[in-house]
Amino acid sequence: MYRFIQKNYRNVMTRAFSEFPESVLKDEKISQKVRRQVLPRCHRKLYTLTVREENEENIRDFLPPKPIVPTGWKLEHQLNSNRFDLRKTVNIRDFGREELHVIALMEVKQYEGTYRMDNGEREEEEYLFFSLFVQKERFPGGLEFGLTSIDMELVMDSLAIHSNQEDLDVARDSLLSTSNLIDSPKKHGQKRNLDCRRRRDRRYRGPMLNELDDDFSDEILDYLDERGVNNGFAEYIMAQAHFFEQEEYLNWLRLLRQFAQ
């Protein structure tokens, strides 16, 4: 009985598929072949929108103006980098020269909470961290200032003292991206960068400056002021960061346009 039912079931299924129209089966095979051969389309609209955005950016009336570099400072910046440097040599009467080196990193975007309004301003208060390294001829190491530009004012966050050139170089290299390191192998550059950060963090970074006596902290700020690092310089640093941010955005659009073309 079981063999009889199984045999009849096979006969029924055979007749069912044999009666299926051959044209339908052929169309189905062609459809599957076409689906396998479909390629992604060229997003010509992406190129058009990128060109439109470039043109709109070039005619906006709230573009940040190019700031004037303060007297005595030399500005350094590489395209497609979020970092810029400022260098200055100061001649100290009867004490030789001092070399000042500022390293500033443009704002790292907080994509969930940071955005500009229609007039180009941000809703929240802006600030920018930067570091100042000071070397002098009669001292083997140097000073490392942690500074902040906020609301057109200079805020001194930290002051670390490096007793030798090696410690100073480690602190400076810890702020560099791997693309700025001299070492050619990328993995070796990344390893060196992380090693510099660990070595820097193990050093004593100085006291809480707000706990110092007022006359002590004021004297340190006067020292910076005499070398041109003051509220005006902090305002310039912020303006320069805004300018480079806009330049980098335009370069980002240009690269996207070239890719989409």
Identify whether the C-beta of residue 85 lies closer than 8 Å to the C-beta of residue 111: no
104 pLDDT exceeds 80? yes
Torsion sign (Cα): 56, 109, 114, 158: negative
Q: What does the pLDDT read at residue 85?
A: 97
Q: What does the pLDDT read at residue 210?
A: 83
Q: What does the pLDDT read at residue 178?
A: 42
Q: What does the pLDDT read at residue 183?
A: 44
Q: What does the pLDDT read at residue 110?
A: 53
HEC string of 123-171 equals CCCCEEEEEEEEEECCCCCEEEEEEEEECCEEEEEEEEEECCHHHHHHH
126-160 confidence digits (pLDDT tens): 789 999 999 998 899 999 999 999 988 999 999 99
Of 94-108, 121-135, 158-172, 237-251, where does mean pLDDT reach its minimum?
Answer: 121-135
Predicted confidence band of residue 112 (pLDDT cuts 50, 70, 90) = very low
HSE at residue 203, side-chain half, CA atoms within 13 A, is: 22
197-241 confidence digits (pLDDT tens): 777 777 788 888 888 899 999 999 999 999 999 999 999 999 999
Write the CATH number of the domain with boundaries 49-260. 3.10.280.10
34-84 confidence digits (pLDDT tens): 556 666 666 678 888 988 998 888 887 777 889 999 999 999 999 999 999
Q: What does the pLDDT read at residue 122?
A: 56
Of 191-195, 222-226, 227-231, 250-254, where does mean pLDDT reach its minimum?
Answer: 191-195
Strands (E), the chain: 74-77, 83-92, 96-105, 127-136, 142-150, 153-162
- Report DSSP state, residue 227: T
18 pLDDT exceeds 60? no
Q: What does the pLDDT read at residue 68?
A: 96
Average pLDDT of the residues of the chain: 79
Q: Which of 121-125, 180-184, 216-220 has the highest mean pLDDT?
A: 216-220
**Token pair listed for 85:** 């440097």
Residue bearing the bigger pLDDT, 43 or 245: 245
**Token pair listed for 241:** 């960061």
13 pLDDT exceeds 70? no
Q: What does the pLDDT read at residue 123?
A: 57
Predicted confidence band of residue 184 (pLDDT cuts 50, 70, 90) = very low
CA 149 to chain centre: 18
